[in-house]
């Protein structure tokens, strides 16, 4: 799978939320695309990912 352009391997199918948490992301502060499609906050907990998926994560940054 690709996560933000970096290749990684997952041994088994897992939930998107589990993958993101394992990688250190705070789910309430990110936006996620799976295979080019925007994933809603609710879907993050119900969608599964496999080794064939491409995931892009965008973090929100405050400032001015």
Q: Which two tokens stand for residue 26?
A: 């705070």
Q: 32 — phi, psi (to 5°)? A: -130, 140
C-alpha span between 22 and 48 (Å, rounded): 14
14-61 pLDDT tens trace:
999 999 999 999 999 999 999 999 999 999 999 999 999 999 999 877
Q: Which CATH class is domain 2-58?
A: alpha beta
18-27 pLDDT tens trace:
999 999 999 9
């Amino acid at each position: 799978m690709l996560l933000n352009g970096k290749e990684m391997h997952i041994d088994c199918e897992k939930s998107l939320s589990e993958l993101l948490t394992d990688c250190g992301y705070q789910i309430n502060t990110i936006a996620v695309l799976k295979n080019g499609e925007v994933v809603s906050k609710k879907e993050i907990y119900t969608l599964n990912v496999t080794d064939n998926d491409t995931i892009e994560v965008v973090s929100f940054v405050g400032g001015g």
